[in-house]
Every structure is written in C-alpha cells, then in structure tokens.
Structure 1
Amino acid sequence: MTTSGSLENSITIGLSQDKMAAYLQFHTRDDEFSCTLEQLEALIKLRGVLFGIDQELLQKIAENPKAYFQSQTKIAQGMLPRTGEDGSIKYVYNLHDKALRPQETEDGKVDFKEISQLKNVMRGQLIAEKVAAAEGQPGRLVTGEELPAKRGKEAYFKLGKNVVLNPEKTALYAAIDGMITLTDKSKINVFPIYEVNGDVDYKVGNIDFVGTVVVRGNVLNGFRIRASGDIRVIGGVEGAELTADGSVEVTGGILAANKGVVRAGKNVKSSFIQDGNVTASEDIIVTQSIMHSQVRAGRHVICNGAKGLIVGGTVQAGESVSARTVGNTMSTTTTIEVGVKPELRQELLELRQEIRTVSDNLEKTEKALVLLDQLAAAGQLTPDRLALRVKLTATKRQSAEELAVARERMLEIEKSLDRIDAAKVVVINTVYGGTKIMIGRNTRFVKDPTQRVVFHFAEGDIAMSAYY
C-alpha cells in the first residue's frame, strides 16, 4: 500500500489555466504501485480540487492505476455559468400570428377568409405586458469558487402611435378605440380605420392616412394611397401607388399595365397580379396568377391556389416561391429568384456608395487636421482656425463611427448571401422551358417541361428533387 507521502511523489494534480478542469498525471511506472480511493480523494482535496470530481473515474484509477500511467486524465470538470432567459413582450393578441398563411382546401383552392382579422381594442384596454428577464445560473470552478451569471436581456416596448405605458412601464394600453398594428421595426400602434365607400377616383383624391384604409371599390389608375396601417381594397387596383407599413389586401386583383407600385411592410394578398410591380417585406400570397410582373417578397411568394400560375417577369423571395405552374408552353422567359431578400441587394449597393463617400470625406478631414496641427505646433493657430480644428475633430470622429457601422452592416449582408440552405422553389404541377431559377449566387435554366419538382441548393449548385 502506498503512503500519503509517496502518493504525492507519484501523482501530480494540475489545473487548467481557467480552473475549469483538473487533471491527474502519474510519475511512476511501478507495477507494484497501488492506492485507495480515499487516498486519491485526500490528495485531490489537498490540491484544492473541490467541485465536479468524477468519483466513478477515481474508483477506476484506484482499482487499476497502471491503466492510467501513460496519459493525463481529467478527473474534475467545472460548470460554466448560464445566462438567464431574456425578457419578452406578451401580447393580448397574437400579433405575430403564423395563421396569416392561406389554408388549402381538399379541392386545391385557397381560403383567405381568416387571414385579415383586425385586432380591435377599446380605449384603456390592455395591449401587452412585459415579462421580466430571468436571473442566470451561476457556474463553479473545480476549486469551488462560484462564477457569476448574467441576467437575461430585458425586453422593451417599442412605442408607436396611440398607446400609453403604465407608471411602472410594465404594461401597454390603447389610448384610443381602434386596431392594433405592428409596423416598421415592430412598433406597437393603435390605428383607427378610414373607409372609402366606393372607388378612389377624382371625387376622393389621393389618400395619406395614419391608420388602416379600407376601399369598398376600385383604386383607379394614377391615384395614391399611403397608410401607416393596412390597406384593404374590396375591388381591383389599376396602375395606382399603394404603400402600407402593414399589409395590403386586394380582393379584385391588380391590373397595373406596368404603371404604379404596391408596397407593404408586411404581406400582400391578391387574387391576381398582371403587369404589376409589387413588393412586400414578408409574404406575397396570390390565389390565381402572377403574369408579366415584378414581384419581390422578403420571405415567401405563394401562388398555389386552384390556378396558381406564374408566367413572365421576375419573382423574387428571400426564402421560397411556391406555385402550381411556372412558365408556359411558349417558353415565355420567367425568372424565379430565392435565397436573398430583395431589399438587401439594394441596401448593399447603397452601403458601398456610402462607404466610398464617407471614406473620401474622412480622408479630406484628416488632411485638413494635419495642416492645422502643424500650424498649432508652430504657434500660428488663429481663433478661427482653432474653432475649425475643433469642428473637424468632431467631424472625423463622427465619420469614423458612421464608417464602422456601414462596414459592419455590409459584412452582415454579404454573409447572408451565402445562407441559402433553406431557400427553395416549389412547383406543384409543371415548370416549363424558358424558366430561369436563381438561388443566391447560382443560376439554373429549365430547358424541358418538368412536373412536380422542388429546386434547392445542394453541394454547391441548384439541385432538383421530386415534390411530394
């Protein structure tokens, strides 16, 4: 049996630099060496190891030490601290309701009846409550010292129009009767609704309204509707300009004759789009057809109703495009692009121009400061030049900050161009020749009609698999 003194000479207990692990190393190769579990535990405790000890492993070492002569063995593991759960905002209504997607019935038709349900509230009614962030779980080093944990990030209300906080800032209430709407950057608003009982024409004129607009007729060629909430048109939309921070719904379809534009901060829903220019930050949902149009959606373009036809023009979506039929027997050029949010490409171009401009201005500012610094060193800095020097110093600092923010954002966008694993184009019936499929930076031309297919990115190229 080994004595405690000889055990200390035969075994070294070492700690990792961060004290998150402890290791046992033998210095003997004596086949007669033996020790007990109690001796090992005493030695480990003597060396300051008090937490995370692998008792089962120690027992194995005591029973057969020779098996561990040739290696360093980890005998204790610390525990990292765990950050607490972040706070959140709990809404009375589900404002992020995924049920806004169309539901397909057994006969292949799409039911939009439940998509545009208004979230109505009365003045003083509770809209949302703040759920506080949770405390984290402390960690512990193998030496027993506690590692403090971070509390989760607190959630904050993003206040829009016609809402008020309670004094404790833990609950949000409606300031007027109206409809709850999430707009840009998830701001919470309560908007009243403006209704037009007929067409938007010369009798009504252009509409610019801080709420939701409902038109119980048509929007005629050349007119404009701007809404901070939603726009709902019971009739059709001609070559008009519709811009909503929320969603746009057109029951009678969009027949634009390559004039006007429809823009939505959330979704666009329409029976059809022909010769139109339509953009949505989230989804574009069409029951019948998209023909010869420029269509851009931040997430999905869904055109898989009973007809579900996409032909001509360009359809872009950040995540996916789904249709029953793409192209036609005449091989009309039709472009489908997924995997990159359309607005990000434009933002990337703008950022590159901004970086060039700010960099040029920063270079000019630095050259001017060098001259002023030289004058200051020579004692020739007049009061006017001193004021200019202070101003240029502040300008330099601001320009450097703007440049850093722009470069960081540009890097984020460039990285997103390669995140295309989930992007796909789904064709439920037939895709015809003349169709161009683009996923991220990759392109594939369809030469022959193909039925029931899904285009996706795999192994560095656009792959094609069967649709089930």
Structure 2
Amino acid sequence: MPYYIRHHFDPHFDYHRLCPRERLDGGVDHYDLGYVQNVKQDQLLAEIVDLDEAGSDIEQRFVVDEPVLPAGENTKLDPENPRRLLAAVNGYVFCDNGHIHVHDILNVRRDVDFHTGNINFLGDMIVHGAVRTGFSLKARNIKVLDIIGGADLTAHGSILAQGGIKGQKKASLTAQKDMRVAFCENAQLTAGRHIRVDGSAMHCQLSASGNILVDGRLQGGRVVTGRILFVREILGGGVGTTTSLVLGQDPRHLIELEMIEEELLDIEERMEYYGEQITFGPALHSEYSAKIARTQRRKKLLEQRRDSLIEILDNPPANPDAHQIIVEGEIRPGVMVTMGKESMFIDEIRGPARIRLDAEGRLAIFDYIPAKS
C-alpha cells in the first residue's frame, strides 16, 4: 500500500534563492527575505498519510511504499503517533539527502545585507561576515566575526561582537545576559548582566545591571552600571568631551523613566490639540471630551510611575561598597559621576583611582594601586 509524506514546511526552500516578502500595500520589503524556516521544539514537521488521503496536488518523490518518516538530526517521532515527525529542538528545518533535519545553530557565511535581509532565528546565530547598517538580527545567542555597523541586534542570551562595532549613532545591541565586544564607537549597548569591551568605547551608551569592563579607553557618552565600572587605560576625553557615569542603578529603571518622560511630552502636545478641537462645535466637543478624559487618566498613571522611579533612582544603593569606579590608568577632565543624589565632576587629570562613597555618604576619589601582573 503506498503512502505519502506530507510536509508542514517548504521542503524546496533554498536560502540562496530568496525573494522580498510582499507587503499589505502591494509593495515588497527588501529587508524581509525569510532567510530561515524557524521551528519550535515539538512542532509538527511531517506526517505519513495514506496515498488516497493525500489529495491530487502531490509530488511523486514523496510517495513511499513503507510508512517510514525520513527522520534526521534533532527530529523525533511523536510518542502518541509514530506517523508524525516533530522537531526535537528550537531551530531551522531543512531537507538534505531525502532526510529532514533541524539545526539549532545558524551559520550565516556572508555579510548580513540585502542578500540575506533581516534574520530572526530561534537558536544560536554565527555571522561569519559583517552586519551592515540598517539590518537587524534576533536570536538566542549571537556571534559576529566581522564589523557591526549601524545595525540592531537582540539576543535572549548573550552577544559576542568579535569584529567590533562602528555604530554611526544607529547601532543598538541588547542582550538579556552578557555582552563582549572588540571595541565600540557611537553605539548603544544594553546587557542584563555584564559588558566587556576588549578595546576602547568611544561616545557610546553602555548599560548593564552588573559590571562593565573596558580594557582600553572610555571616552564620551554615558555609562550606567548596577555594580562596578572598571577602566584599564583612560577614562574621559579631556576638556570639551563629557563622559557621564551613573553608578548603582538598574538601567531598566532609567530606560523606563526616559520612555515615560517622552510619552508625557507627547501627551502634553495631544492635550493642546484636543483643547483646540473641542471648540469647533458640539460634535467635536463630545468626541474630544472623551479623548481628553482618557488621556488625563493615562497621564495620571504615568506621573505616578515616574515619581516612583525618581524616588528609586534618588536613593543610594543598599550596599554602596559594591558600587564603584576603578581606573587603573588615568582619568581625564570632563567626567561626571552620579550615584543616587550625589554627583561629582572631575576637571583635572588623576592617576590610578577608585571612585565610591566615603564614610559620610559622599562621592570621593581614592588612590588605587593596580595589582602587579
């Protein structure tokens, strides 16, 4: 009795032959080429059906004499129905030599550009080329071997930027766990745990709930660290370049506060517009009165959350000794340090130093003796 293998993905998929996806307006999106076929663990990949149940639109090469599924790597038979093949891991599905495989590591062996489009993957991703400006990557963990331009990278785990980042004030990298980069320029880096920069960080926004280590020079931009900032060589860029450092804060609180303040500004503009519209007759008065009431309720909630966040950010951390700045090399003028309500501006060159709260709860600079290598 003949059988048919019904696929629940495109068995003919070829990432060498990608086409832009069509948008709802009839145009095409050259950034969305569908580079991979993502599947989740336990997702149905294929099933065996009797040939007379397969319908008329069948391919002869998927007609088989025995009800045997072409199981490959990281696939498994459904324990409740051996005629169904499931994915054993999160990853991408493909056919090779007549078998169905799922891989949880995606190797992109070229630059991420208009040949690949944006890539969204459920497993780990390794990009062997560069990530060009304007493109985005999403994956569990991301490793990029070449340079990252003004791109957007998001990882549920960690990010390794082995080739460094030239962000052009457009790059945004977010990792829920750790991040390590060769160097970074004009980029925004946010990590749920720690950030390490093997070279220099120039005019960047660095935010981490844990520690931040810069092996080279840290100049310009803003750094928010929940624990310790360690700079191996030079901190600050001298007169004319401000380097802002915020100690002992969860970056998520600052980001949320900034978003709330932006929305409150938008609400003020909308309320002004609604106030103008309400004067143009009874019909508009009724419509915009309702909008004003809803917007005022939203404004009140945002103001309450804003005040709560400000109170959190103004308070010193519970264990201030765990939050400090350590500079093994030299501090240049133009460094602003904030911790709770305390702040300090450094306008002179200092040698190896440690910045933390003193016994009176004020920010102070202490001499630091680097460990001998």
Q: 1:226 offset after TM fit, Å?
A: 1.4
Q: 1:243 offset after TM fit, Å?
A: 1.2
Asked if 1:267 is matched to 2:178, the reply is yes
Question: Which position in structure 1 is the counterpart of 2:213?
Answer: 302
User: Which residue, 238, 242, 251 being the options, matches 1:342?
Assistant: 251
Contact 1:431 1:450 in 2 (8 A): yes
Contact 1:351 1:410 in 2 (8 A): no
Distance 2:141 2:132 in 1: 18
Question: Which position in structure 2 is the counterpart of 1:313?
Answer: 221
C-alpha distance 343-191 of structure 1, shift in aligned 2 (>3 A): farther
Greater strand proportion: 2
Distance 2:314 2:178 in 1: 23
Greater helix proportion: 1
User: Which residue, 418, 438, 444 being the options, matches 2:315?
Assistant: 418
Distance 1:342 1:350 in 2: 12
The C-alpha deviation readout for 1:336-375, integer Å capped at 9, x for no partner, is 2211112212334667989xx9xxxxxxxxxxxxxxxxxx
Question: Which position in structure 2 is the counterpart of 1:427?
Answer: 327
Question: Which position in structure 2 is the counterpart of 1:322?
Answer: 230
The C-alpha deviation readout for 1:293-347, integer Å capped at 9, x for no partner, is 122112221113xxx2101111221222110210235552211221111221233
The residue identity in structure 1 corresponding to 2:199 is: Q
Equivalent position SS for 2:213 = strand
C-alpha distance 416-331 of structure 1, shift in aligned 2 (>3 A): closer
Equivalent position SS for 2:182 = strand
User: Which residue, 210, 216, 226 being the options, matches 2:128?
Assistant: 216
TM-score, length of structure 2 as denominator length? 0.57
Asked if 1:448 is matched to 2:345, the reply is no
Spell out the pairing of 1:38-117 with structure 2 (5 A cutoff): none
Distance 1:416 1:256 in 2: 29
Distance 1:234 1:257 in 2: 19
The residue identity in structure 2 corresponding to 1:462 is: L
Which consecutive unaligned segments of at least 5 residues does structure 2 have? 1-40, 43-74, 76-86, 92-101, 268-296
Aligned residues between the structures: 241
The residue identity in structure 2 corresponding to 1:216 is: H
Q: 1:240 offset after TM fit, Å?
A: 0.8
Question: Which position in structure 1 is the counterpart of 2:362?
Answer: 461
Contact 2:313 2:340 in 1 (8 A): no
User: Which residue, 109, 118, 138 being the options, matches 1:226?
Assistant: 138
The residue identity in structure 2 corresponding to 1:430 is: E
TM-score, length of structure 1 as denominator length? 0.46
Question: Which position in structure 2 is the counterpart of 1:182?
Answer: none
Question: Which position in structure 2 is the counterpart of 1:133?
Answer: none
Contact 1:311 1:327 in 2 (8 A): yes
Distance 2:335 2:309 in 1: 31
Distance 1:451 1:208 in 2: 46
Question: Which position in structure 1 is the counterpart of 2:34?
Answer: none
Q: 1:247 offset after TM fit, Å?
A: 1.0
Q: Which has the larger radius of gyration?
A: 1
C-alpha distance 177-208 of structure 1, shift in aligned 2 (>3 A): closer
Distance 1:251 1:430 in 2: 26
Q: 1:460 offset after TM fit, Å?
A: 2.9
Contact 1:267 1:284 in 2 (8 A): yes
Q: 1:429 offset after TM fit, Å?
A: 0.8
Which consecutive unaligned segments of at least 5 residues does structure 1 have? 1-122, 125-161, 163-174, 180-189, 358-398
RMSD over aligned Cα, in angstroms?
3.5
Contact 2:316 2:339 in 1 (8 A): no
